[in-house]
Amino acid sequence: MPPQSQVSGQGTRGGRVRLIRGPLVIGEPAPVVEAGLVAQDPYRPDTVADGGAAFGLTVRAASVRGLAKRYTGEPRQDDVCLRRHDATRTLIAVLADGVSAAPRADIAAALAVRHAAAAVARQLDADPAPPPIDWADVFGQAAWALVEEHRRSSGEPQAGVEQAAPLLATTLLVAAVTVADEEPIHVQVAAVGDSPALVLQARRFEPLVGETPDAADLLGAGVDALPHKPHAFARAERTLGPGDVLLLASDGLALPLGDGTGEVGRVLARELRRPPNVVDFARLLDFSRATYDDDRSLIAVWSDRS
């Protein structure tokens, strides 16, 4: 057993057990604001933190409300969803970043992640030796869930994508990680919009799909989103090798991460070498850094193969 003072998150000042409080600060701290409790119905929690182990993989997922929305009391518009598919030994991980111009972006993100995870699982159910994932079907089903929600809430059974999209819009990033005996760990990933999937290898962040910010460009171009663009997906496949960490991120993290060579990249690379516990993972994601106050979400997958 390590001495207590080395247990993270705990201090022993004066012999009393103390919780170490406050966010992890990277660079210039963001101001401290009192988070407004969300008034939205259905209620959206400020933070979700999740994770566990399956098939020799360890996964962590967190979604934290940005400082800007905490300040205004608006709901978190990112969401994450995990699901295991035992028959094919596949971990399904999904992340969405609601488009804030759409007033119900929070609901869009919440629906999209759940329906996409279910769509992947249904494909895997249908075929025990599954072919590559049919991404058009996955994004199509997630897009349709947004239209259905709009029909339900508006009471307009004929409403379509054109009516739903201004209210419910989100990016969507989906990964399926399959662990077959004696075979390399296989990652399939696809995205509509700019939320990136990356592989962290030592200190390098290798982009798989989605956009990573280009220092030469200005920020603020349009973004592809569901339900408008279910066919505008980018896809990639990759083997997850020893020491690789698969990362799915929303742009609230991707932006301060940049190309990974800055302070945020260094901290993440160091802290994600091994899986933090679920709550520490969310705390890491909720770091304080001036001007970066958007919602942040991150899913990380490690393999226990050495």
Partner 1 sequence: MDATQSVPPVPAVPPAIGQVLPIYFVGDESHSMAGAPIDAVNRGLADLRDEVAKHPLIGKKVRFGIITFADSAETRLELSELSEELALPTLAPRGRGTSYAAAFAALRQAIPGDVALLKSSGYQVHRPSVFFLTDGQPTEDEGRWRDRLAELTDDTFKERPNILAFGVGDAEATVIQQVASSPRYAFMMTSGASTAGAIAEFATSMLNSMVSSAERLERGERTIEFEKPDGFVQLDAPIL
* Stretch of 27-35, 81-89, 107-115, 228-236 lying at the interface with partner 1 (CB under 8 A): 27-35
In angstroms, what is the minimal distance from the CB of 5 to partner 1?
33
Number of shown-chain residues binding partner 1 (CB under 8 A): 43
Classify residue 4 by its DSSP letter: G
Binding region for partner 1 (CB under 8 A) out of 7-15, 55-63, 239-247, 261-269: 261-269
Query: Around 30, how many Cα atoms within 13 Å sit in the side-chain half-sphere?
Result: 21
Report if residue 53 touches partner 1, rule: CB under 8 A. no
For residue 2, which phi and psi values (nearest 5 degrees)?
-75, 155
Site for partner 1 in 108-167 (CB under 8 A): none
Residue of 38, 48, 80, 99 that binds partner 1 (CB under 8 A)? 99
Q: Choose the binding region for partner 1 from 56-64, 95-103, 160-168, 180-188 (rule: CB under 8 A).
A: 95-103
Separation of CA 239 from chain center = 20
Rg (CA), the chain: 19
Judge whether 184 and 239 are in contact, CB under 8 Å.
yes
Closest distance of CB 294 from partner 1, Å: 6
d(CA 21, CA 44): 24
Question: Which of 39, 70, 73, 107 lies closest to 252, judged by CA?
Answer: 70
- How buried is residue 2: exposed, middle or buried, by Cβ count under 10 Å (0-12/13-18/19+)? exposed
Separation CA 130–CA 23 (nearest Å): 43
Region binding partner 1 by CB under 8 A among candidate stretches 12-20, 40-48, 156-164, 210-218: 210-218
CB of 223 to partner 1, least distance (A): 3
Using CB under 8 A, which residues numbered 167 to 206 contact partner 1? Answer: 171, 193-194
Q: Which residues bind partner 1 (CB under 8 A)?
A: 27-28, 30-31, 33, 67-68, 71-72, 99-101, 171, 193-194, 211, 213, 215, 217-223, 251-252, 254-259, 261-264, 289-294
